[in-house]
Amino acid sequence: MRTVRTVAELRALLLPDRRAGRRIGLVPTMGALHDGHLSLLRRAAAETEVVVLSLFVNPTQFDEASDLAAYPRDEAADAALAEHAGCTVLFAPSVHEVYPDGFCTIVTVDGPLTGTLEGAHRGAEHFQGVATVVTKLLNMVGPDVAFFGQKDAQQALVIRRLVRDLDIPARIEVCPTVREADGLARSSRNVRLHGEDRDRALALRAALRAAEDAVAGGERDAAAVRDAARAAMTPFSVDPEYLAVVDPDTLVPRTAIDGDTLVAVAARVGEVRLIDNTLIPSPR
């Protein structure tokens, strides 16, 4: 595995592979790698010949300075995990490399894909930050395929839209959420959960399971499904910031469960903000 820190180094390193027609995969991350990231790397290694992992804590997508400051960083540990999982190139640029002096371009995806759920609670700047940095990474690396996790379902939709709208020649592959043994979705923020808060964090998975069970039991009213999910969080003393039952492609709220449905939830557990979701197939 090679580590590079500038766009010029990255492009020079990838040029022989590109000329030889080798497929290039990209796994964008902010570091603090866990099994979810490693599953993306393994998927990339299985589908492409050259695997680039980007390691960059993007300041423009954080709406709280405290969250940015608390985000875990350990490049040496991340590099060891990445190499073991099949990473070929570790791209670890500085903030100045990504946002040089005079940088003044923002990529904005308008509409319900960014105006609801995370966008409604974290502000428009969050997805502007995501869209801008991902556009830059796609242009820097020039991958054939980029791999993202289903846990960030709204983010994946936003990225698919910008790739389509801007004619970026990369396929976006969304891979299943990886969970801990008790069902908690893997997240870099999980290391900040301690004591009772770690147990209380299971409220999100409990809500999603309740929604799944309600639909499996024949419930087709979206409001009733949402109520069942919310009730499942009560024993954990966790209130959701949002708990939404929506179309998985448009994020438009559902009134009835008459097609594939995304149930998405966000909540603060102690000082840690968590998100999770489940995709419920269309009932037969």
For position 144, what pLDDT does the model report? 98
At residue 141, the pLDDT reads 98
Q: In 3-state terms, what secondary structure has residue 254? A: coil
123, 127, 129, 133 alpha-carbon torsion, rounded to 10°: 170
pLDDT by residue (tens digit) across 199-218? 999 999 999 999 999 999 99
Q: Which residues are annotated as a binding site?
A: 30-37, 61, 149-152, 155, 178, 186-189
Tokens of 175: 């891979």
Binding-site positions for ATP read: 30-37, 149-152, 178, 186-189
Tokens of 283: 């009932």
193-280 matches 2-175 in CATH topology: no
Question: For domain 193-280, is the CATH number 3.30.1300.10?
Answer: yes
* Tokens encoding 225: 């499904």
Give per-10-residue mean pLDDT for the chain (284 aa): 98 98 97 93 97 94 80 90 96 97 96 93 91 98 98 97 98 96 94 95 98 98 98 98 97 97 98 96 91
CB proximity list for 184: less than 8 A, separation 6 or greater: 190, 201, 202, 204, 205
Q: What is the pTM for the complete model shown?
A: 0.94
Dist. CA 62–CA 123, nearest whole Å: 10
Task: Give the pLDDT score at 176.
Answer: 95
Looking at residue 51, its pLDDT comes to: 98
pLDDT for the residue numbered 123: 85
Cβ-contact 106, 132 below 8 angstroms: yes
Residues annotated in a binding site for beta-alanine: 61
Give the sheet arrangement for strand 2-4, strand by strand.
2-4, 89-91, 50-55, 24-29, 145-149, 171-175
Please indicate whether residue 194 is annotated as part of the active site. no
From 37, 96, 126, 194, active-site residue = 37
Q: Where are the domains of the chain?
A: 2-175, 193-280
* Residue 272 tokens, joined: 């840690």
Q: Which CATH class is domain 2-175?
A: alpha beta
If phi > 0 it is left, if psi is from -120 to 50 it is alpha, else beta; for residue 247 that is beta
